[in-house]
A and B are shown apart, each in its own frame.
Chain A
Amino acid sequence: MAASNKTRAGRRDPGSTADEKAAPRAPDGSDPIGPIAPAPFTREEDLRAYRDMLLIRRFEEKAGQMYGMGLIGGFCHLYIGQEAVVVGVDMAARPGDQVITSYRDHGHMLACGMDPKGVMAELTGRRGGLSKGKGGSMHMFSREKNFYGGHGIVGAQVSLGTGLGFANWYRGNDSVSLVYFGDGASNQGQVYESFNMAELWKLPVVYIVENNRYAMGTSVTRSSALTDFSKRGASFNIPGRQVDGMDVRAVKAAADAALAWCRRGAGPIILEMQTYRYRGHSMSDPAKYRSKEEVQKMREEHDPIEQVRVRLLAAGVTEAELKKIDAGARAIVSEAAEFATQNPEPDPSELMTDILL
C-alpha cells in the first residue's frame, strides 16, 4: 500500500495482494445499488434538457448539411436520436468528472460545454477548430472541459477511460470517469480487460454503453451472444442497469445513482443506455439493414426531445417560448457554421507541429 495514503473505504491499491473484498454489497448478495427511482424533472430541469438536446439536434442537422456541401470531409458520425444520453448524464455530473467517447462525439462535446464554433470549425478543418483543424470530426479534446476525446479505434476509449478513473483513484479525488462506448464496441477484448482491472482496483468509472442497436450495419442480435449489456460486467462482479436512454429523466436518475456509487468508493458500474440513431452510421451508409418504418416509429414514438416538449407544454410553457428556444439553438448553430465556413485553414507550418513536446 505504498502509493496511496488517501485510499478510501472499499478501494484497493493496484498491485496490493490484500484479499479484502470491501465492496459494499448487500448482505444477502442481492443487487448492491438498489432500485433506481426515475425522478420527475422540475420545470427548470426540463427546460435545460430541452435546450441542451435541441442544440445538439440542430448542430448535427447543420453538420449533415455541410457534409453534403463538401465543407466537411472524411467520416462524420451524427448523434441525432441519442441526445438524451449525454444531456441526462451531464445533468448528473460534476465539474471535474471526465468524459471520453468514440468518434460519434459532437453531442458529448456540446454537452460538456465546449464551444460550438470550435467544434464546427474542427469539422470543417479550420484553424479555429478545437484541434486547430488537425483532428476533424472524430478527434477533438478539451483539457478545460475534461473531455478526453474523440477516438477512432472502436473500444480504445474504454481502456483509456479506465485510466482516467485510475488517475482519480491515484490522486484520491472525488472525480468519476464517464466512459461512453457503443454496443459494437462492447465486444472488443480490451473492454473486458478494463472491466477486470476497474473492479479489481475499485476504480471510479461509469461505463456507459450507448446501445443504439446497430454497429454500422450489424444489429446487436447478430453480433452479441448476450444482448443485455448491463450484464456484461457480471463475471467481474460489476453491477449494471438497463436504462431508457430516450428518456432524459431516466438517464439522469441512473447517472445520479451510478455517480454516487462511484463516489463512495464502490468501484465501477455499467449503465446500458437503450437508445437509437436516426441517421446512418456515418454519412455514407446505405441503410439497408433496417426498415424505414423502424426508424420512423422511433422518431415518432420515442423522440427524446419531443418527450420533453410535450411535458413542457403540459406544464404551461407556451409554443412561443419553445419556438424561442429553438430559434436560440438555430442562432448558435448558424453562427458556428458561419465561423466554420469563414475561418481560414491552418497555416501550412502546422503540418509539423504538435508531434512531440
Chain B
Amino acid sequence: MPNILMPALSPTMEEGKLAKWLKKEGEAVKAGDVIAEIETDKATMEVEAVDEGVLSKILVPEGAENVKVNTPIGFIAVDGEAEAPSAQVDVVPEPAQPAAPAPQAPPKPSAQPKAPAPAEAEYPADAPMVAMTVREALRDAMAEEMRRDDSVFVMGEEVAEYQGAYKVTQGLLQEFGPKRVVDTPITEHGFTGVGVGAAMAGLRPIVEFMTFNFSMQAIDQIVNSAAKTLYMSGGQMGAPIVFRGPNGAAARVAAQHSQDFAAWYSHIPGLKVVAPYTAADAKGLLKAAIRDPNPVVFLENEILYGQSFDVPRIDDFVLPIGKARIARRGEHVTLVSWSIGMTYAHKAAELLAEEGIEAEIVDLRTIRPMDVETIVRSVMKTGRCVTIEEGWPQSGVGAEIAARLMVDAFDYLDAPVLRVTGKDTPMPYAANLEKLALPSAAEVVEAARAVLYR
C-alpha cells in the first residue's frame, strides 16, 4: 500500500508533472524533507515527507507528465518496518467510497466553435494565430505596453519577486526591474490610493489585486477618488489607471474569497469595467485599458488563466472597450454572458443544438459602457434572451440587461428575459453546496427552453 500520493497543491490543481525526485530509492527521509518536485501550470512546488522512514519504492518516474492528483507515486517504509504499513503507521484511510466529489471546477469550455468574424473585423482574416493561455496573454499585454510607454508600471502584492500570486506578472520584474514592477505590503487601501495619486500626476499604474475580493479594502479609493476626480475637477484631471486581478469564484475558497464584482463596479459612473473570456480578448482589451485615459476595472478569472485560445499574432493588437462579440450565431434564443459565464453559455448552446435549438451567444466583454446595441440586434432576431453570470441576482448585470431590453427591444421580445445567476447566498465551502451555488449549463438550458415555451 503506497503512502505517497500525487498531492493536490492548489485549489484548482487536477494533475501535474512529477518533475524531480530529490530522494533515491532506499534513501532515509525525515519528516519535512523535500522528497520530490511537482510542476503545475502555475509553479513548481515541493512535496515534503510527513513521516520518517525509508523511501522504499518510487512508483512514478521523474519527468512523468499529467500525473493525476491522488495517483500513488511512491512508498515510505516507516521505522524500518516492512513495506506494508502497520496499523500504527499514520495513513489516512482512503474514503470508503467517493464520499465527496473531487473539488468541482466549473466546466471547462468545450471545443470552441470557430467564432464568426465580428461585424467589423478586429484583425485581418489571414492574421497568423498562436495558441496561448489567458495568463500569457495578460502578461504579454502588460509587457508590450510597458515597452511602449515608460510611464506604465505594475504594483501589487507579490507581483515582482514571487512572479505574481497567480503568475500573471511572470518575468516582468526581470525585464523591467523593481522600479516598474513594485511589490507592495498588504495594504490595499493605501497602495490603491498611491496608485490613483500617481495616475493623477500622469503616470499609468496597473494596480493588481491579488484577487478582487481584496479590492473591497480599497473600493473607496476606486469609487471616490479614481472614478470621480475627472468630474469633480471639471475635466482638469483624471486618473488613467487599471485595476486588475482575478474576480469571482475559484474552487472551494469559500465565502470571503469567491465574490463577483462585475455588478458592483458596473454601477459606478466614471469607471470602465472589462471582463474578457478568451485570451485574444484578454490581450487586446488589457492593452486598450492601459492606454485608456480613464480608470478601468479589469476583471479576470482564475479558472480561465490556464485555458488556451488562439490569439492573432499581429503588431499592436488592441481591441475596443465597449464592444460585445458574437461568439456563436443562432436564431432561436440569445444568450448573453462574459468571462467565466461564457463556459456555461457555450456548453448550453451545444446541449440546445442537440434539441434543434440554435442559440446565439453574445460575449459582452465590457460591462461598462455596455454594448446594448449588439444585444438588441441579436434579440431583434431571436426574440428571446437569457443572461448568465456567476454573481448574485439582485441588481446584477443581468438585471441591467433585462431593464435595457425592456426599453430598447420591448416590441421584439417574445418572452420575459430570464437570468441565470449565482444563488442568492454567500459562497459555501462544501463541495456539493458550492456546485449548487454556481450556475450550470443545465440551468441555462432550462431557462432557454422556458423563454421558448418548450
In the complex, identify which listed stretch (A166-174, A214-222, A259-267) lies at the interface while the others stay far away: A214-222
CB distance from B96 to the nearest CB of A (A): 7
Set A70, A151, A217: member contacting B69, Cβ < 8 A: A70
Q: List residues of chain B with CB within 8 A of the CB of A165.
A: none
Please name all residues of chain A whose beta carbon is closer than 8 Å to the beta carbon of B190 when the two chains form the complex.
189
User: How far does the alpha carbon of A133 sit from the alpha carbon of B432 in the complex, in Å?
Assistant: 10
Cα A134 to Cα B92 in complex, Å, equals 23
Chain B residues near A188 (CB, 8 Å)?
186-189, 217
Name the A residues within 8 Å of B431 (CB-CB). Answer: 73, 125, 345
Q: Which of B1-9, B54-62, B356-364 contacts A (4 or more CB under 8 A)?
A: B1-9
Please determine whether A218 and B257 come into contact, CB atoms closer than 8 angstroms: no
Minimum CB–CB distance from A48 to chain B (whole Å) comes to: 23
Q: How far is the CA of A135 from the CA of B256 in the complex (A)?
A: 9
| Contact between chains at A346 and B433 (CB < 8 Å) | yes
Q: Does B201 contact A (CB under 8 A)?
A: no
B254 within 8 A of A: yes
A110-B304 Cα distance, complex, nearest whole Å: 37
In the assembled complex, the Cα of A66 lies from the Cα of B432 at a distance in Å of 18
Q: Are B162 and A289 in contact (CB under 8 A)?
A: yes
Pick out which of these stretches binds chain A: B37-45, B328-336, B411-419.
B37-45
- By a CB distance below 8 angstroms, the chain B residues around A135 are 254-255, 429
Measured CA separation A183–B9 after assembly (Å): 24
| Cα–Cα, bound, A135→B252 (Å) | 10
A135 CA / B43 CA spacing, docked (Å)? 27
Shortest CB-to-CB span from B109 to chain A, Å, is 22
Write out the residue numbers on chain B whose beta carbons fall within 8 Å of the beta carbon of A152: 213, 254-257
**Contacts A184-B185, A341-B95 given; does A217 touch B162 at CB 8 Å:** yes
A74 near B253 (CB under 8 angstroms)?
yes
Question: Is A138 on the interface with B (CB-CB < 8 A)?
Answer: yes
User: With A62-B90, A344-B99 known to touch, is A74 a contact of B254 (CB < 8 Å)?
Assistant: yes
- The reply to whether A216 and B187 contact each other, CB–CB distance below 8 Å, is no
8 Å CB interface, B40-72 against A: 42-46, 48, 50, 69-70
- Asked if A318 is an interface residue, CB under 8 A from chain B, the answer is no
Q: Could you say which of B95, B158, B250 contacts A71, with CB atoms under 8 Å apart?
A: B95
Residues of the B chain whose Cβ atoms lie less than 8 Å from the Cβ of A73: 8, 11, 103, 251-252, 429, 431
Task: Assess the A289–B161 pair: CB atoms within 8 A.
Answer: yes
**How many A residues face the partner with a CB closer than 8 A?**
71
Asked whether, in the complex, the Cβ of A341 is within 8 Å of the Cβ of B103, the reply is: no
A 300-357 contacts with B by CB, 8 A? 330, 334, 337-338, 341-342, 344-346, 348, 350-352, 355
Are A216 and B165 in contact, with the CB atoms below 8 A? yes
Q: Are B161 and A217 closer than 8 Å at their CB atoms?
A: yes
**Are B255 and A139 closer than 8 Å at their CB atoms?**
yes
Partner of B436, one of A224, A279, A334, A348: A348
A65 within 8 Å of B (CB atoms): yes
Is A125's CB under 8 angstroms from B100's CB? yes
CA of A351 to CA of B186, assembled, Å: 32
A355 nearest in chain B by CB position: B425
In the complex, whether B111 has a CB less than 8 A from a CB of chain A is no
Question: Is A236's beta carbon under 8 Å from chain B?
Answer: no
- The answer to the question of B323 belonging to the interface, with a C-beta cut-off of 8 Å to chain A, is no
Contact A286–B93 (Cβ < 8 Å): no
Could you say which residues of chain B place their CB within 8 Å of the CB of A41? none
Chain B residues near A61: list those with CB within 8 A.
31, 50, 90
* Nearest B-chain residue to A133, judged by Cβ: B430
Residue pair A136, B254 in contact (C-beta under 8 Å):
yes
Q: Which residues of A contact B34 (CB under 8 A)?
A: 292
Please state if A352 and B425 are interface contacts (CB–CB under 8 Å).
yes
Known contacts A67-B7, A152-B257, A216-B162; is A134 also within 8 Å of B428 by CB?
yes
Task: Tell me the bound Cα distance from A224 to B184 in angstroms.
Answer: 10
**B90 and A330 form a contact (CB under 8 A):** yes
CB of B426 within 8 A of CB of A355, answer yes
Contact at A125–B429, with CB atoms within 8 Å?
Answer: yes
CB-CB < 8 A to A69: which residues of B?
5, 7-8, 70, 92, 94
Whether, in the assembled complex, A92 has its beta carbon less than 8 Å from a beta carbon of chain B, the answer is no
A125 near B7 with CB under 8 A, answer no
Give the CA-CA distance A217 to B100 in the complex, in Å: 32
- Picked from A280, A288, A351, the residue with its CB within 8 Å of the CB of B433 is A351
B11 touches A222 (CB 8 A): no
A interface residues with partner B (beta carbon < 8 Å): 58, 61-62, 64-71, 73-75, 122, 124-126, 131, 133-139, 151-155, 184-185, 187-189, 215-218, 222-224, 278-280, 283-289, 292, 295-296, 299, 330, 334, 337-338, 341-342, 344-346, 348, 350-352, 355
Known: A133-B433, A138-B257. 16 other contacts (CB 8 A): A68-B7, A71-B92, A74-B252, A125-B430, A134-B429, A153-B256, A184-B186, A189-B189, A217-B162, A218-B158, A218-B161, A218-B185, A284-B43, A341-B93, A345-B99, A350-B433
- 7 pairs, CB–CB < 8 Å, chain A vs chain B: A73-B251, A125-B433, A152-B255, A152-B256, A218-B158, A284-B43, A355-B424
3 residue pairs, one from A and one from B, having the closest CB atoms: A68-B7, A136-B429, A284-B10
